[in-house]
Amino acid sequence: MRLFGAQIGKRVKIYPSADIMFPWNLEIGEGTVISWKVIVYNLGKITIGHDTIISQYVHICAGNHDFKSPDFTLLKTPVTIGNHVWIAADAFIAPGVNIGDHSVIYARSVVVKNIPDNTVAAGHPAKPLHENLLIH
């Protein structure tokens, strides 16, 4: 992936079944894991911090369409996932979302709004369950 322009830190593990659409729009910090069957749909840039875990079947989406535009304009909206984050199995991260450092997203959550640092969030749409926790 580095040959195709991805910026990937040291000690990163990306499972072979992960589907990364456009490596040149991907930046990953050191020590991060992208598990099996993860979809990284990075029409826009996706930045993932260091020591972060993206669990199986997670879908990170940095592309959408403007349904109000007559030509259904393609939007390439970046996604940022912080450091020391855990996104549990089968979660969906929507375009334009920022997930703060030391946060946890529960399994099968749908994240459509920013999640602050030190927050545990869950649901459809995801809402904070615990905030301002110092999660290591």
Q: Which residues are catalytic?
A: 65
Please return the burial class of 87, using the count of CB atoms within 10 Å of its CB with bins 0-12, 13-18 and 19+. Answer: buried
* Sequence-separated (6 or more) residues with CB below 8 Å from residue 116: 100, 103, 128, 131
Give residue 98's identity as a one-letter amino acid code.
N
